[in-house]
């Protein structure tokens, strides 16, 4: 068995050698490099945009709060796995975080038919997996089969469907893939790019025998995990570390034709405790930290010179904070519940459904004070899931209702609500005290602080709001299954690319994350019907300007209606050691490692 495999590999390598000679030829390592490229470069190399030409060698050590759970890209669902596997596999296209443009990766180029329903993709010739086996359209078809598998039902499946229908994928030859879709699809390029290519020749047997989900798991021997990306697994020690090293067959090169990546190793040290991670950074064991609290920013700034690092200011982040009131109604007949009845207390529901009430809530929040006290000044106002950090989709014109306590009081008074008994809390027109609870997850200190801040601000306009910090799972159950809450304070973070339609389930009235009224059979209000229509239009339009106009209207409706009451968004700052070149930290995940294939250790920096 083993000898057959190695013979096959040898044969593949010979074929590959013959082939590669037609290309640019092998590259000798440059001066100062510790690595000599053992393989010839493929025919269609991919020139990776690099601000600086680097040199080979060195390593980058980063800490992770918990380790990867699988090395199988399709089965990886949580960030701790994604942070690692995203470096190990590539798809047709990728987003350049520095320019917010999508660039071709495994696909060299592509064309679209005039009606936008037929997409023809050309693969890079000579691109190989980490075992030297060529990456062809066969592999692409196999990965589509995996993505559409009903039993596995990987999370990427939803993105790869248009109106619930699968793409028709075919491969006229080894380096061409044709996809047919029923109508133009705005997310086509990012969606196809999100499907990272895994090797058919190593995984098909496992898939046919029904063991795909457990293939390439953390117990798999590193040498048998074959990847398409710049980095390959070198070592995984449970609970301690994950070590990646360069894929010797990677098709990325720099402008001088040197094979990427530059680094010998990327090491993820597992450090569950944040304080411990910070100490490890200070002692120099870790080169960067990808999560720092605003309260610690000043400490990091003070230590920059001594610790030989820089605290990069990445500007407003992509994650949001907001709260909403519960407008959910019963959708399916249930014992004791009538269809259409509110899940929350009917009296409160009658307040929540009033737009003036929701607008008053938004006007009551002093966001500037919140930025100063909760975020130590390191936050900005935000009115959308596309935060000011979102280069393409941020829409400053679609701002919501900002702090205006007098305006808020006027709205309250306009509904006939006033403080009848002199306790400082208003009563509604029927004399019922206006109060509600606000749930949030208690393990998130910042959210609890925000909820307390909201309580204080609302009390100033005569509304009693009581924060209720909860266990995360309980909160999600309330949010999604039993709808037992009055209001919830939560956040959403952005997908990659940060196209708002990647999160269309938030806006569509039928969506599962349309928090304020989840999973409606048909839109319950005119405003929501309009949003639904705008979303449907948006995903079917390829013209960016038209899409931006539609997106602006969606945000304007949400903010006018007060479906979400937006709170400030944090300004992200991260410390990284100074010895690295080409580092371009970004607010999108993974903030530091997204371009790690081109990061290098500068002259004078210790290479190991």
Partner 1 sequence: MRTFILRRVLQAIPLLVGISALTFLLLQLAPGDFLNTMAENPGISVESIEAMRTRFGLDRPWYVQYGLYLKNLVFHLDFGQSFSRHQPVFAVLREGLLNTLLLAVSAAVVTWGLAVPLGVWAAVRQYSWVDKGLSLLAFLWLSIPEVLSGLLLLFFAAKTGLFPVGGMRSLGWDSLDPLGKALDLLHHLALPALVVGMIPLAGRMRQMRANLLDVLRLDYVTTARAKGLDERTVVFKHAVRNAINPLITLFGFTLGALVSGSFVAEIIFSWPGLGRITLDALLTQDQYLVMGSVLMASVVLVAGNLVADILLAVADPRIAYD
Verify binding: residue 503, partner 1, rule CB under 8 A: yes
Q: What phi and psi, each to the nearest 5 degrees, are found at residue 184?
A: -55, 145
Out of 15, 445, 512, 544, point to the residue binding partner 1 (CB under 8 A). 512
**Which helix (H) or strand (E) element contains residue 167?**
none
Spell out the residues 6+ positions from residue 311 whose beta carbon is closer than 8 angstroms to its own: 297, 300, 301, 304, 573, 574, 575
Out of 210, 272, 377, 414, point to the residue binding partner 1 (CB under 8 A). 272
Nearer to partner 1, 199 or 503 (CB): 503
Nearest to 425 by CA among 469, 478, 461, 468: 461
Nearer to partner 1, 231 or 417 (CB): 231
Out of 169, 198, 271, 314, point to the residue binding partner 1 (CB under 8 A). 271
Question: Which span sits near partner 1 by CB under 8 A: 123-131, 239-247, 304-312, 369-377?
Answer: 239-247
Smallest separation, CB 194 to partner 1 (Å): 9
In the shown chain, the binding pattern of residues 281 to 320 toward partner 1, with x for contact by CB under 8 A and - for none, equals -xx-x-----------------------------------
In the shown chain, the binding pattern of residues 476 to 495 toward partner 1, with x for contact by CB under 8 A and - for none, equals xxx-xx----------x--x
Specify the pairing of strand 165-166 against strand 600-601.
unpaired
Instruction: Give the CA dihedral 437, 441, 443, 449, nearest 10 degrees.
Output: -50
Verify binding: residue 276, partner 1, rule CB under 8 A: yes
Residues 377 and 301: their CA atoms lie apart, in Å, by 15
Out of 21, 36, 66, 113, point to the residue binding partner 1 (CB under 8 A). 66
Out of 52, 78, 168, 526, point to the residue binding partner 1 (CB under 8 A). 78
DSSP lists the bridge partners of residue 103 as 94
Q: What phi and psi, each to the nearest 5 degrees, are found at residue 579?
A: -75, 0
Out of 474, 543, 544, 546, point to the residue binding partner 1 (CB under 8 A). 474
DSSP lists the bridge partners of residue 244 as 233, 266
Verify binding: residue 147, partner 1, rule CB under 8 A: no
Question: Which span sits near partner 1 by CB under 8 A: 31-39, 111-119, 170-178, 212-220?
Answer: 212-220
Owner of token pair 């081109």: 598
The total of other beta-carbon atoms located within 10 Å of residue 414's CB is 10
Verify binding: residue 505, partner 1, rule CB under 8 A: yes
- The reply to whether omega before 497 is within 30° of 0 (cis) is yes
Verify binding: residue 280, partner 1, rule CB under 8 A: yes
The total of other beta-carbon atoms located within 10 Å of residue 540's CB is 15
Verify binding: residue 6, partner 1, rule CB under 8 A: no
Smallest separation, CB 274 to partner 1 (Å): 11
- DSSP state for residue 514 in the 8-state scheme: -
Nearer to partner 1, 162 or 271 (CB): 271
Query: Which residue blocks in 396-501 are alpha helix, DSSP H?
Result: 405-414, 445-460, 472-477
Smallest separation, CB 557 to partner 1 (Å): 18
Note every long-range contact of 419-425, with CB atoms under 8 Å and residues 24 or more positions apart, other chains counting.
419/462, 424/459, 424/462, 425/459, 425/462, 425/463, 425/464
Residues 150 and 167: their CA atoms lie apart, in Å, by 15
Nearest to 502 by CA among 415, 405, 392: 392
Nearer to partner 1, 363 or 508 (CB): 508
Beta strands in 261-369 (DSSP E): 265-270, 309-316, 321-325
Q: How many binding residues for partner 1 (CB under 8 A)?
A: 60
Nearer to partner 1, 497 or 585 (CB): 497
Residues 530 and 520: their CA atoms lie apart, in Å, by 14
Out of 208, 209, 275, 346, point to the residue binding partner 1 (CB under 8 A). 275
Smallest separation, CB 493 to partner 1 (Å): 9
Nearer to partner 1, 101 or 153 (CB): 153
Residues 204 and 142: their CA atoms lie apart, in Å, by 8
Smallest separation, CB 215 to partner 1 (Å): 8
Question: Which span sits near partner 1 by CB under 8 A: 251-259, 386-394, 471-479, 579-587?
Answer: 471-479
Interface positions with partner 1 (CB under 8 A): 61, 66, 69-70, 72, 75, 77-78, 150-155, 157-159, 213-214, 217-219, 237-241, 267, 269-273, 275-276, 279-280, 282-283, 285, 471-474, 476-478, 480-481, 492, 495, 502-506, 511-513, 519
């Amino acid at each position: 068995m083993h000898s057959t495999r190695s013979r096959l590999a040898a044969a593949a390598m010979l074929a590959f050698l013959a082939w590669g000679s037609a290309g640019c030829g092998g590259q000798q390592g440059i001066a100062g490099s510790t690595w000599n490229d053992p393989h010839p470069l493929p025919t269609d190399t991919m020139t990776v945009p690099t601000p600086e030409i680097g040199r080979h060698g060195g390593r980058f050590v980063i800490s992770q709060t918990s380790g990867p759970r699988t090395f199988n890209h399709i089965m990886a669902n949580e960030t701790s796995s994604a942070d690692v596997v995203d470096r190990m596999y590539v798809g047709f296209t990728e987003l350049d975080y520095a320019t917010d443009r999508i660039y071709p990766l495994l696909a060299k180029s592509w064309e679209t038919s005039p009606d936008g329903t037929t997409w023809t993709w050309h693969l890079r010739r000579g691109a190989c997996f980490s075992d030297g086996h060529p990456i062809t359209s066969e592999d692409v078809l196999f990965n589509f089969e995996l993505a559409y598998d009903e039993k596995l039902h990987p999370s990427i499946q939803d993105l790869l469907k248009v109106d619930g229908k699968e793409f028709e994928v075919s491969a006229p030859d080894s380096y061409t893939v044709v996809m047919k879709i029923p109508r133009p699809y705005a997310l086509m390029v990012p969606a196809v790019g999100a499907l990272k290519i895994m090797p058919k020749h190593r995984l098909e047997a496992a898939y046919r025998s029904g063991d795909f989900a457990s293939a390439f798991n953390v117990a798999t021997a590193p040498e048998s995990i074959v990847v398409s990306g710049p980095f390959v697994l070198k070592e995984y020690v449970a609970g301690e570390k994950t070590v990646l090293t360069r894929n010797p067959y990677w098709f990325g090169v720099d402008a001088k034709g040197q094979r990427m990546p530059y680094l010998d190793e990327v090491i993820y040290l597992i450090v569950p405790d944040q304080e411990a991670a910070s100490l490890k950074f200070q002692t120099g064991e870790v080169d960067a930290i990808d999560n720092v609290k605003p309260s610690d920013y000043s400490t990091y700034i003070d230590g920059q010179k001594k610790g030989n690092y820089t605290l990069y200011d990445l500007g407003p982040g992509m994650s949001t904070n907001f709260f909403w009131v519960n407008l959910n109604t019963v959708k399916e007949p249930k014992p004791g519940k009538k269809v259409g009845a509110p899940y929350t207390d009917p009296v409160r529901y009658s307040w929540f459904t009033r737009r003036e009430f929701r607008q008053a809530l938004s006007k009551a929040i002093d966001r500037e004070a919140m930025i100063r006290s909760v975020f130590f000044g390191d936050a900005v106002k935000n009115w959308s899931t596309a935060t000011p950090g979102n280069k393409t989709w941020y829409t400053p014109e679609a701002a919501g209702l900002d702090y205006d306590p007098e305006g808020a009081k006027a709205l309250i008074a306009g509904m006939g609500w006033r403080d009848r008994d002199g306790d400082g809390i208003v009563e509604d027109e029927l004399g019922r005290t206006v109060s509600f609870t606000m749930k949030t997850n208690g393990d998130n200190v910042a959210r609890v602080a925000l909820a307390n801040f909201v309580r204080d601000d609302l009390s100033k306009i005569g509304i009693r709001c009581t924060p209720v910090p909860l266990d995360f799972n309980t909160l999600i159950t309330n949010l999604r299954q039993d709808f037992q809450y009055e209001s919830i304070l939560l956040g959403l973070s952005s997908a990659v690319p940060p196209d708002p339609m990647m999160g269309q389930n938030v806006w569509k009235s039928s969506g599962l994350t349309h928090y304020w009224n989840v999973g409606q059979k048909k839109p319950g209000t005119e405003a929501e019907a309009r949003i639904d229509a705008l979303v449907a239009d948006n995903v079917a339009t390829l013209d960016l300007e038209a899409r931006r106009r539609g997106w602006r209207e969606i945000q304007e409706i949400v903010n006018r209606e007060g479906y979400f009451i937006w709170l400030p968004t944090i300004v992200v700052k991260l410390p990284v050691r100074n010895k690295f070149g080409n580092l371009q930290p970004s607010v999108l995940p993974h903030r530091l490692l997204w371009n790690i294939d081109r990061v290098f250790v500068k002259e004078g920096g210790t290479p190991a």
